């Protein structure tokens, strides 16, 4: 386990002590819980990769021929 030193202004520390006391924990425990939850949140990169996998799964059976006949794709407009 690693130790972490954090500097806070007096008012922030006082508020943290009050909130920790209301919850029956120490300021260290409160900070540990916050940082643990923060560290396990999905990063933006991870969220985008997950969404990409989900979208690719939805279009895996897509073929253009299901949508438009080949001849229609190559027609030229006669004017």
Domain presence at residue 75? no
| Domain ranges, residue 48 | 1-59
H or E element: which one contains 75? none
Average pLDDT of every residue of the chain:
86
Residue with tokens 């006949």: 69
Domain presence at residue 72? no
pLDDT classification of 77: cutoffs 50, 70, 90: low
Q: What is the pLDDT of residues 61-71, one digit of tens each?
A: 666 666 666 67
Q: Helix (H, G, I), strand (E, B), or coil: what is residue 26?
A: coil
Give the count of beta carbons closer than 10 Å to the beta carbon of residue 40: 7
Domain presence at residue 76? no
Q: What is the pLDDT of residues 15-34, one digit of tens each?
A: 999 999 999 999 999 999 99
Q: What is the pLDDT of residues 41-50, one digit of tens each?
A: 888 899 899 9
Round to whole Å and give the CA distance between 34 and 26.
12
Domain count, the chain: 1
Domain presence at residue 73? no
| pLDDT attached to residue 65 | 63
């Amino acid at each position: 386990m690693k130790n972490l030193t954090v500097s806070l202004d007096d008012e922030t520390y006082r508020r943290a002590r009050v909130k920790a006391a209301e919850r029956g924990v120490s300021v260290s425990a409160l900070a540990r819980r916050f940082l643990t939850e923060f560290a396990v949140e999905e990063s933006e990169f991870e969220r985008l990769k997950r969404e990409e996998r989900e979208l690719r799964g939805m279009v895996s059976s897509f073929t253009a021929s299901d949508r438009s006949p080949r001849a229609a794709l190559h027609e030229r407009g006669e004017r």
